[in-house]
Amino acid sequence: MAKDTFAVPELTPYTEIPKIQPGVMAHSAPFKAKEEFQTPLGYPGELVEDWQQKAIAKMGELLGKYRSLRVYLDACVKCGACTDKCHYFLGTSDPKNMPVGRQDLMRKVYRRYFTLAGKLFPKLVGAVDLTEEVLNDWYSYYHQCSQCRRCSVFCPYGIDTAEISMAAREIMDSIGVGQKYCNEIIGKVYKVGNNLGLPGPALRDTLQGLEEDVYDATGVRVRYPIDEEGAEILLVTPSADFFAEPHIDGLIGYGKVFHEAGVSWTLSSYASEAANFGMFIGSYENMRRIALRIREAALQLKVKRIIFGECGHAWRVAYSFLNTLAGPWDFLDPRYPVPQHICEFTYDLIQQGKLTFDKSENDDKVITFHDSCNVARASRMGNVPGGQFEIPRAIIRATCNHFYDMDEDTIRDRTFCCGGGGGLLTDDLMELRVKGAKPRMDALNNVMQEKGVTHMAAICAICKTQFSKVLPYYGMEMDQVLSLHQLVSNAIVLTRRTADDDEAQDGLDDED
């Protein structure tokens, strides 16, 4: 990998609002998707001939399909309340990373082609033609938005820049200008079933390995089943959970929780991915195609419930969109919401007193919790608003003795993005990822100094991967980020024994 050529920002006690520096991030753009990654998704392989016309036409189509886009392009009054809310602006100082600055890249084109004022007096209202220069700006800056929706919290009209970024990416894809990372990954899901391209046999091997590891560590046969027809629960989890640190510790934890609950469950090699990158590229069709795989797997395996593992945007797509995209789910057990989050499942068991924890197992750590954007601002857990904030914290408190929240302005619905969401978790955007993480790093560093926090738990595969990579840039250790269910896994007291254990136990008894 090329040596980094940028300066890592200094951490500060409070994340200060920088003076604007126009254009400093114009160079930051992800690799473009080549034909082989574009066509499986239904997009042209390279920039089409009459791209300008096609892009405008696509924009018109989206304006007719999405009320959000239409209203948000009209309604902004340039009040500026969002200008200092984006972690990418705070980390880079580039004014086109201010949410309204980012929206304006599309808004000025919208005004030119779709509004009377922009057609008659372009200069007056800041309308411009869709030139190549503008397209380049779109490609750079719409790929500097992690679609975290922090801006939408503070806007008086709820204008959601994520909606505009998604539309922009869909328009660019439709004229052949796609982002390699996202589109390649979606292609892998279609071909192999998951983002990492792990085929069924590799998954089975990994899971078998996990069973052995857990048995060695605990003496209990916790199962990690895959493709088991007739299981009660289908677990859909990000594929990173199958092999990467710290994700895999989370998967181990889910298995232990299921074991203690005494329910049968299974993974699916066909729907071996919870993430749905169709959302990042704003493509309803691709998002739907990916979501339908879960429906097929559920039907095939004849499960009764669906539970999602720890992943932020996957949970957004699952919680908010799965019913829309791949419903109705009337063939599942109506006593449970479809789908459920693993945290909801674990929390319910804790509420019922069905799990026993030895909190001291986590005493070597002082924990803080990172609310992932898509969970915090685009989904829910449990049945009251804000359950997505309370449930993970309740689980941490049940499993750890030492927990401190970061500064109020940086958690819950004000949480800062890890800097790698929205399909930006790619090495070609390292500068953006490091700078965009600064507000989160400031807040983390503060609780480390003030409260002696040692670890940060997260419930999103992207957050975990991003932090593992970015923490060292700020002088911290990559293993300071944890899966929430890793804490559960450490503290859970395994009581339920399976027939296998009893046999093993008998064997031991005989030896006496």
- 82 touches ligand SF4 (CB under 6 A): yes
The CA-based angle 98-161-143, given to 5 degrees, is: 75
- How many chain residues touch another protein (CB under 8 A)? 73
Exactly one of 69, 76, 172, 274 binds ligand SF4 (CB under 6 A); that residue is 76
Q: Is the peptide bond before 328 cis (omega within 30 degrees of 0)?
A: yes
- Interactions with another protein, residue window 92-111 (CB under 8 A): 95, 98, 100-101, 104
> Which residues within the stretch 41-80 sit at the binding site for another protein (CB under 8 A)?
63-68, 70-72, 74-80
Placement of tokens 């803080």 in the chain: 368
By CB neighbour count within 10 A (0-12 exposed, 13-18 middle, 19+ buried), where does 384 fall? exposed
**Helix-strand-coil split of the chain, %, nearest 5:** 55, 5, 40
Instruction: Select from 42-50, 150-158, 207-215, 261-269 the region that touches another protein (CB under 8 A).
Output: 150-158
The neighbour count for residue 327, using CB atoms within 10 Å, is 12
Give me 463's structure tokens. Answer: 């957050």
Q: Distance (Å, rounded) from C-alpha 147 to C-alpha 390? A: 23
d(CA 378, CA 158): 13
Sites for another protein among residues 113-142 (CB under 8 A) = 115-117, 123-126
- For tokens 């999602």, what's the residue? 308
Reference 459, options 346, 302, 327; nearest CA is 346
| 68 interacts with ligand SF4 by CB under 6 A | no
C-alpha span between 140 and 58 (Å, rounded):
20
- Using an 8 Å Cβ cutoff, are 75 and 2 in contact? no
Binding of another protein by 389 (CB under 8 A): yes
Q: Is residue 295 a contact point for another protein (CB under 8 A)?
A: no
Number of residues that bind ligand SF4 (CB under 6 A): 27
Whichever of 159 and 448 has its CB closer to ligand SF4, that residue is 159
Distance between CA 228 and CA 301 in Å, rounded?
A: 7
- Out of 376, 391, 441, 492, point to the residue binding another protein (CB under 8 A): 376
Of these, 50, 80, 335, 507, which contacts ligand SF4 (CB under 6 A)? 80
Provide, rounded to whole angstroms, the least separation between the CB of residue 291 and another protein. Answer: 12
Among 78, 119, 191, 302, binds ligand SF4 (CB under 6 A): 78
Smallest separation, CB 385 to another protein (Å): 4
What is the identity of the amino acid at 117? A
**CA distances (Å), 243 to each of 239, 250, 292, 477, in order?**
8, 11, 25, 20
User: End-to-end alpha-carbon separation of the chain, Å?
Assistant: 58
E-strand ranges in 223-291 read 233-236, 265-266
Which residue from 150, 289, 316, 433 is in contact with ligand SF4, where contact means CB under 6 A?
Answer: 150
The correct pick among 62, 73, 151, 185 for binding ligand SF4 (CB under 6 A) is 151
Q: What does 416 bind: ligand SF4, another protein, none (CB cut-off 5 to 8 Å by kind)?
A: none
- Report d(CA 468, CA 30) in Å as an integer: 20
> What does 117 bind: another protein, ligand SF4, none (CB cut-off 5 to 8 Å by kind)?
another protein
Give me the least distance between CB of 353 and another protein, in Å please.
Answer: 26
Comparing CB distances to ligand SF4, the nearer of 99 and 250 is 99
Of residues 83 through 102, those in contact with ligand SF4 by CB under 6 A are 85-86, 88, 99-100, 102
370 makes contact with ligand SF4 (CB under 6 A): no
Which residues in the 408-447 window bind ligand SF4 by CB under 6 A? 417
With beta carbons less than 8 A apart as the criterion, state whether 341 and 319 touch.
yes
Question: What is the smallest separation between the CB atom of 152 and ligand SF4, expressed in angstroms?
Answer: 7
Stretch that binds another protein, among 33-41, 158-166, 481-489, 492-500 (CB under 8 A): 158-166
Contacts of another protein in 313-352 (CB under 8 A): 319-321, 323-324, 327-328, 337-339
Residues in the chain: 512
Cβ proximity to another protein, 67 vs 302, nearer residue: 67
Two structure tokens written together for 113: 């082609």
By a kind-dependent CB cut-off of 5 to 8 A, residue 407 interacts, out of another protein, ligand SF4, none, with none
Contact of residue 321 among ligand SF4, another protein, none (CB under 5-8 Å per partner type): another protein
The DSSP annotation for 19-82 comes to: PP-TTTTTT--PPBPPHHHHGGGT--SS--TTHHHHHHHHHHHHHHH-HHHHHHHHH-----TT
Q: Strand pairing partners for 265?
A: 233
Binder to ligand SF4 among 146, 195, 283, 480 (CB under 6 A)? 146
- Minimum Å distance from CB 215 to ligand SF4? 43
Residues of the shown chain interacting with ligand SF4 in the complex, contacts defined by CB under 6 A: 76-82, 85-86, 88, 99-100, 102, 145-151, 155-157, 159, 161-162, 417
